[in-house]
Amino acid sequence: MPIMPIKQGNIKRTVAKNGKREMTKEEFKLWLKKFDTNGDGRISKQELRKAIRSVGGWFATCKSEHGIRYADANHDGYIDLETEIYNLLDFAKKHLGVKIVSY
């Protein structure tokens, strides 16, 4: 039987009893990266909306607009996965019920 990749194992156990998602900063980044469908290293409003929907977030359209405004420090309309993602992480903690843990 093949050994499961460690990252996948981590993500599997990230849903806590209270329904809150727990992840580390790195996992958060990897998670968002999955939604960067065109691979340009940035998250667009549409991509963020998909990400919010995937965690069962209500009002995904509204939240994605809010999230972009919150995190888009240079106002180009995208969340840069290297520089602006930590603003989005803050947003996710406050509005998406994501708990960021550090191991």
Q: Which residues bind Ca ion (CB under 5 A)?
A: 72, 74, 76, 78
CB of 45 to Ca ion, least distance (A): 11
User: Toward Ca ion, which CB reaches closer, 76 or 90?
Assistant: 76
**Residue 3 has what DSSP assignment?**
P
Minimum CB–partner distance for residue 97 and Ca ion (Å): 24
Q: What is the rounded end-to-end Cα distance, in angstroms, of the chain?
A: 28
Closer CB to Ca ion, residue 29 or residue 99?
29
**For 28, phi and psi rounded to 5 degrees?**
-60, -45
